Structures are given as C-alpha cells and as structure tokens.
Amino acid sequence: MPEPAIKISGLSKHFGPTTALAGVDISLQPGEFLTIFGPNGSGKTTMMRIIASLSRPSTGSVELFGQNIRRAPAHARQRIGFVTHRSLLYSSLSGFQNVHFFARMFGVDNAADRAREILSAMGLEHRMDDKVSTYSRGMEQRCAIARALVHHPDVLLLDEPFSGLDPDATARLQTLLAGPEGESRTVILTSHDLTYGAKNADRVAILMRGHLGFTANVEQIAEGAMPDIYREHTRGNRG
C-alpha cells in the first residue's frame, strides 16, 4: 500500500465552548476523490482550512504524503490547491496578474504561459486582463479555481466550489477534474449537491456536528440512494 496522500488522525477543533471537529480520522491514497456532505455548521470548512494549513487544530494531526503539515506548512501549501468561499484574489489586479503572481510564487515553469492556459481553461480568455473588481461573482470564482490549479497541485481542496458558477463553468471544472491534469490528483470536495458529489467521487462521507457519521465507497451505494442515506444520517443532527 503506498503512503497516504492525506492522513488525518484524531482531528479536533474547539472555538471556546463550541466543538467544530471531534476526533475526525481520514486516510486518502494518491488519486482518491472524497466528497464530504453535511449540514451547514457541521465542520466541513473548518476541516478544509486545517488541511490547507490555514488554521491549527486543537488536537490531532494532518500528514501530507507522510509529512506533518504543522512542521512544514510552506511545503504543504506548495502541494495543495484550495478553493473556498473567499476567492483569495486581489481585486485591484487583473485575473492574469493574480494567477501569474501565484504561479511565480510557487515556482511554476513558464509561469505566464501557464497562467494564460489555466485561465483559458476556465473560460476567462477574453477577460483575464480586466481587474477582478469588475468581475461577476461567477467570474471571480472561475479565476479562484484557476489560481488554485495553476501550480499543478497534488492535492485539491474544493469547499463548495460550484457556488456562483454557471453550467458552463461547472462543466469546465468537471473537465479539469476528470482530464489528464486530474488523473493522479487527490481531491476532497465538500458539497450540498448529493447527486454530483456522489457521482464524481470514489468515496463519500457525511460530517455531522464535527463527527464523521457515515463513510462508504461509491460503488457500495445504489444509484440514486445518496439522498435517502443523507436524510437518514442527518436526521436530528442539524443545527
């Protein structure tokens, strides 16, 4: 068995008296795609921020290809692409300038060409030289996805990435995830879209009040059964 791409052990996070995560354990092999479902407030974004080394856990650890991310956060960020609710873009710069900046920061070869390539793949070829401040919400999200992918990350964290995306942008992201660029990439997706999330993943999980209440390989789940499973496992656990 190869070394896990991501190994999460006993991960907990407390905000004062509030427990956001409570002893989460996950192990993903290189190239695996995990979708995590859960009600709002279940701890999904908190977990993703910890994996991305943007937040520290209260207890537990996250290892990226065998290396604890708390000991080498810069190394972890080099191998991770993160799309979250916030775009992490500079609104006073153009889309190209944003993505090119990140490409150069991560030492991408031919950074300008790569920035143009990934922006075009997300459908921004005609607006990449415009300031992000002039973008619609959907265009900003397209640019944020391009930024997250520009350095060919080994691990991609997608926290509700389809929020604000139109069908064309959604299809473009799906193509990038399924195409040659994504073949060996490990992906964790959080989503409320039970049909899409289950369809594109190797494994699914349900997070409730900081606990993983359900995990399964997608091949073990009957087609169309995920909504019923979700209702069963979240009944009485919302809020």
pLDDT (0 to 100) of residue 190:
94
4 DSSP 8-state letter: P
Written as one letter, the residue type at 77 is R
Q: What is the DSSP string of 64-123?
A: ETTEETTT-HHHHHHHEEEE-SS----TTSBHHHHHHHHHHHTT-TTHHHHHHHHHHHTT
What residue ranges define each of the domains in the chain, with the CATH number in brackets?
Answer: 30-53+78-234 (3.40.50.300)
d(C-alpha 69, C-alpha 81), whole Å = 14
Q: What is the pLDDT of residues 81-98, one digit of tens each?
A: 999 878 889 999 999 999
- The one-letter amino acid at 104: R
User: What's residue 68's pLDDT?
Assistant: 93
Tokens representing 157 are: 């964290």
Predicted local confidence at residue 200, as pLDDT: 78
Our CA angle for 123, 127, 163, nearest 5°, is 55
Q: What is the pLDDT of residue 239?
A: 44
C-alpha 207/C-alpha 225 separation (Å) is 17
Whether 38 and 208 have beta carbons less than 8 Å apart is answered as yes
**pLDDT digits over 115-159, tens only?**
999 999 999 999 999 999 999 999 999 999 999 999 999 999 999
Question: Would you give per-residue pLDDT tens digits along the chain (239 residues)?
Answer: 678 999 999 999 999 999 999 999 999 999 999 999 999 889 999 999 999 999 999 999 999 999 999 888 888 889 999 998 788 899 999 999 999 999 999 999 999 999 999 999 999 999 999 999 999 999 999 999 999 999 999 999 999 888 778 888 888 888 887 766 656 789 999 998 887 788 778 999 999 999 998 999 999 888 888 888 899 888 765 44
